[in-house]
Structure 1
Amino acid sequence: MLGYIPGNSFMHRVNGTTKLVALILISVACMTTYDTRFLLFTSVLSILLFKISHIKWSDVSFVVKFIAVFSVLNLLAVYLFSPQYGTVLYDSKTVIWEGFGRFNLTQEQLFYEFNLVLKYLSTIPFVLIFLLTTNPSEFASSLNKIGISYKVCYSVSLAIRYIPDIQVTYFDISSAQQARGYEISKKASLLKRVKGAMTIVFPLILSSLERIEVISTAMELRRFGNHKKRTWYSEKKFEKVDFLIMLFSVLIMGVSFTLIYLNQGRFYNPFS
């Protein structure tokens, strides 16, 4: 289940709003630059933070493998549709392997795609840390504390809680279909499993719509939104470490923009 997992690690103790601000700032910093030195630093930082979060591999293995497959497909697609893009970016061409036509392998193309890999390593662990170490209720109360409407905060909290609910519903529907004799487990072929997954989507959508109707009705009966302010059962105060983390995130984004200025563009070019 990809959702909040209670724990007592350093990242669990950090305020939810602090983690969101850091996630946004660092993601923007990583997405706007192709400086390999900077991306190596943020990749190591994200993996290190993931390690100290004490998140078990079994909790994220499926998601990580799923993301890895699509990342590899994306890298292959980049090469297939534009195999000489790296040579254009770095204004250089160092051929490693002579292919056919425009499909030859160059150091510049490999370097560009290596930067793409670093971008994945820089951002994906941060997203997983945020999802798995942030209590939705505590996060919503923190957002409300900095001036965001509690209606918006509650919507964000429901969205975060909804991820594991969707997963539970998916597995329930899958188990029900297998109990009726429709094999979509690991024993079945890949094509049959894909078709089985597609048949789950429709009842999943219907159950999601039904759940949304139940939640909205319950909120209306409790007069949600009738007052301008509300109290929170779960609330965490900002501490010194939260301000330091946000300041560090701002510095990281500042370094990213500074490197863009020094490199006279988004790309660090070691071939010039």
Structure 2
Amino acid sequence: MDKLIIGRYIPGNSVIHRLDPRSKLLAMIIYVVIVFWANNFVTNLLIFTFTLIMVLLSQVKLSFFLKGIQPMVGIILFTTFFQMFFTQGGAILFQFWFLKITAYGLSQAALIFMRFVLIIIFSTLITLTTTPLSLADAVESLLQPLVKFKVPAHEIGLMLSLSLRFVPTLMDDTTRIMNAQRARGVDFGEGNIFQKVKSIIPILIPLFASSFKRADALAVAMEARGYQGGEGRSKYRLLHWQLKDSLALLILLFLGILLFVLKAK
């Protein structure tokens, strides 16, 4: 549980920390698009170098990012192996029954693996250098033009801020419930995969119950304080778009153009 980085923030005064959260969210969207244009050695080297520079500029230890990837290893490997065995094309390198590993399938699996790792590292970078409340404010600000089309920008921002705020709390509750179940003799690591899945049920039921109780208490507290939505409300935290935010997006757009030009046809 300690390796999960969702909703966590590391205080700092780096260049990445000082960027406007809106520019970080826009950069994340652009990054997810351009990472799929890296499909050869040169383009992958460029985007890996750019990502490494961003990690160094954040002044957050690289080991922290690698530990953050560990909970996602299962999903990454499953997707990679699926791509490797079921993508056909090129010379056959290995064959067993209906399973084939081809040169093209191996290259595609490597690309999928690298894209997963890059996206996770970059999203981790955004999370670790931006407070959850700032991210929620950024989402609300970016969605503000859609209010004319009846999109509840403030409510979406509120839901995001509450979700990020209570992720560490849910992790603590899960750890507490698991320790209590272990004290009653439950072993979460024994048996086959079906027995392991079955052993999760004693965790989920009390976790859902405590989550609903906490949500009800939060709703009552908000009503008691007169919460009525975002209309007419002022903000204590004000977002300021600066020149460095524009430069950051321009650098990312330039990288995207470079990747698009150099990508394999």
- Among 9, 13, 18, the alignment partner of 1:4 is 9
TM-score when normalising by structure 1:
0.77
2:241 to 238, 243, 252: 238
Residues 203 and 47 from structure 1, CA distance in 2 versus in 1: closer, same or farther, beyond 3 angstroms? Answer: farther
Structure 2 vs 1, CA of residues 109 and 15 (structure 1 numbering), >3 Å: closer, same or farther?
A: same
> 1 or 2 for the larger relative contact order (CA 8 Å, sep ≥6)?
1
Q: Does 1:168 align with 2:172?
A: yes
| SS of residue in 1 equivalent to 2:17 | helix
Q: Relative to structure 1, is the Cα distance of residues 25 and 64 closer, same or farther in structure 2, using a 3 angstrom cutoff?
A: same
Spell out the pairing of 1:55-134 with structure 2 (5 A cutoff): 55-56=60-61, 59=64, 63-80=68-85, 82-84=86-88, 87=89, 93-95=90-92, 97-100=93-96, 103-134=99-130
Aligned equivalents of 1:190, 1:101: Cα separation in 2: 29
On the 8 A contact 2:84/2:108 being kept in 1, the answer is no
1:21 and 2:26 are equivalent in the alignment: yes
* Residues 61, 210 of structure 1: alpha-carbon distance in 2 compared, 3 angstrom cutoff: farther
| Contact residue 47 and residue 125 of structure 1 kept, 8 A | no
TM-score by length of 2: 0.78
Kindly provide the CA deviation profile for residues 63-87 of structure 1, in whole angstroms up to 9, marking residues without a partner as x: 411212221122112233x141xx1
* Runs of 5+ consecutive residues of structure 1 not aligned to the other structure: 88-92
Question: Once structures 1 and 2 are overlaid, which stretch shifts more, 97-106 or 157-166?
Answer: 97-106
Where does the alignment leave 5 or more consecutive residues of structure 2 unmatched? 145-152
2:200 maps to 1:180? no
Q: Give the superposition deviation at 1:200.
A: 1.1
Aligned length: 249
1:46 to 2:51 alignment: yes
Identity %: 22
Partner residue of 1:199 out of 199, 202, 206: 202
Find the residue that maps to 2:16 and give its secondary structure.
helix
Match of 2:110, SS?
helix
Offset of 1:15 from its aligned partner?
1.6
Contact 1:131 1:160 in 2 (8 A): no
- Deviation of 1:166 after TM superposition, in Å, equals 1.9
